[in-house]
Structure 1
Amino acid sequence: MDRIAIIGCGGSGKSTVARELARILDAPLTHLDALYYDENWTPLPTAEFAAQQEKLVTRDRWIIEGNYAGTLPIRLAAADTVIFLDLPATACLRGILQRRRRYRGGQHPADGVYDRITWNFLRYILGNRRTMRARIRALLHDHGPHVRLITLTSRHHANRFIDHTRRAIQPGT
């Protein structure tokens, strides 16, 4: 695993899995929210956002976490591994509430996430599995048939994957 794209619904644990893997694998990590939004929550122009990702994926090693389906083909074409956090909506909603309690809202400088809960965001989470699962599968088929796909369907499954990876890389831990 040298070039890892981590995708999944908001609140699924993408940032947590990405941080742990980056630490274990000693790989550079990019949070797409931090790349896409500035400190005033203003998004980058689409072409510039895509160009920055094109540059990131030329590196030998990387972990990039975030969805942005419009630019996902850039990451899929260069990735060797895709980790898809395919958790139920209830788990994602719990993750968002935990994040809200932890950070008390606002933008998180480390990963760029802006902690705002809107009706549109809640609808996105509730319908994510129904709408995004098929779209992600199609994008993987078209742009990433070469990748190793790891689908994690619960937080327990994600934690076991992290523990397994840690033991494989750092025996005795």
Structure 2
Amino acid sequence: MPEDPAPAPGPPRRLRIVGVSGAGKTRLARDVAERLRVPHLELDAVFWDAGWAYRDLGEAHAMIDAFVADHPDGWVAEGNWSSRLEGRLDPGTPDGADVLVWLDLPRWLVMVRVVRRTIARGVLRTSLWHGNRERPRDWLRWDPERNIVRWAWVQHPVVRSRMLARMGDTRTTSRGAAPAIVQLGSPRAVRAFVDGLGASRS
């Protein structure tokens, strides 16, 4: 007698979203968290402290570990920070993401978004994490470490090269179904991904 087919896997419940500055990580994370009814962790708020100082790494790791432990039914984490995460949240690691979502939008679109966002934050003096603000005087700095617009421009090909290499080395699957890395190359692909997660549950 043939065995019953295995049930179709549901949408991923633990997602990490990465991409260059201005790609739309935070917006996507909020949309996904709302759709799945799971909490959202912004890694910038974890690794930055007041005065644009780095938070103690041990403290940051403890915050992430506690967040994951407190939400076993699912979560969304967004932000790059791979060098400081030390493997945390990656697919295939203990308590890691089911899927790593890579926002790979065209460079021109990322730059339009990051310039628009940077001007708005500077003019409105938007308070970010722990009272930090982006400073208009940094707009003219050439150093990408001090100028978020330059950072987005310089990092776009770097992030893309790194992620493409990672995709080539990581043809693993998540729960035996979906690819562990999902590449979203356009706003339409982003919308389709969110829609594919199903309707928001009340």
Query: TM over 0.5, yes or no?
Result: yes
Q: CA deviation at 1:74?
A: 0.6
Structure 2 residue 181 is the aligned partner of structure 1 residue 154: no
Q: Secondary structure at the match of 1:100?
A: helix
- Among candidates 89, 94, 99, match of residue 75 of structure 1: 89
Q: How does 1:1-173 map to 2 (within 5 A)?
A: 1-58=12-69, 59-60=71-72, 61-70=74-83, 71=85, 73-76=87-90, 77=93, 78-103=96-121, 104-109=124-129, 114-116=133-135, 117=139, 118-119=141-142, 120=144, 121-137=148-164, 145-147=172-174, 148-165=180-197, 168-170=198-200
User: Relative to total residues, which structure has the larger helix share, 1 or 2?
Assistant: 1
What's the CA shift string for 1:96-124, capped at 9, x where partnerless?
Answer: 123234443443359x8854555303343
Gap change, CA 1:82 and 1:15, over 3 Å in 2: same
Counterpart contact for 2:25–2:78, Cα < 8 Å: yes
When residues 136 and 82 of structure 1 are mapped into structure 2, their CA distance, relative to the original with a 3 A threshold, is same
TM-score with structure 2 setting the length: 0.69
The list of structure 1 runs, each at least 4 consecutive aligned residues, that deviate by more than 6 angstroms after superposition, is 140-144
- Kindly state the Cα deviation for residue 93 of structure 1 after the two structures are TM-superposed: 1.4
Relative distance call for 1:73 and 1:135 in structure 2 (3 A) is farther
Tell me whether 23-32 or 151-160 shows the greater mean CA deviation: 151-160
Q: Contact 2:17/2:76 (CA < 8 Å) preserved in 1?
A: yes
Q: Distance in 2 between matches of 1:12 and 1:114?
A: 19
SS in 2 for 1:6: strand
How far is the alpha carbon of 1:153 from its aligned partner?
1.0
Identity %: 25
3-state SS of 2:18 partner:
strand
The amino acid that maps onto 2:128 is: H
Rg larger for: 2
- Once residues 39 and 171 of structure 2 are traced to their aligned partners in structure 1, the CA distance between those partners, rounded to angstroms, is 21
> For residues 19-74 of structure 1, what are the alpha-carbon distances to aligned partners after superposition, in whole Å with 9 as ceiling and x for unaligned?
11111111010101112223433220223222322333333111100000111621
Aligned residue pair count: 168
> Which residues of structure 2 form unaligned runs of 5+?
1-11, 175-179
Unmatched tracts of structure 1, length 5 or more:
none
Q: State the distance in 2 between where 1:47 and 1:141 align.
A: 32
- Stretch deviating more after TM superposition (119-128 or 75-84): 119-128
TM-score, normalization by structure 1 = 0.79
Q: Alignment RMSD, CA only?
A: 3.0
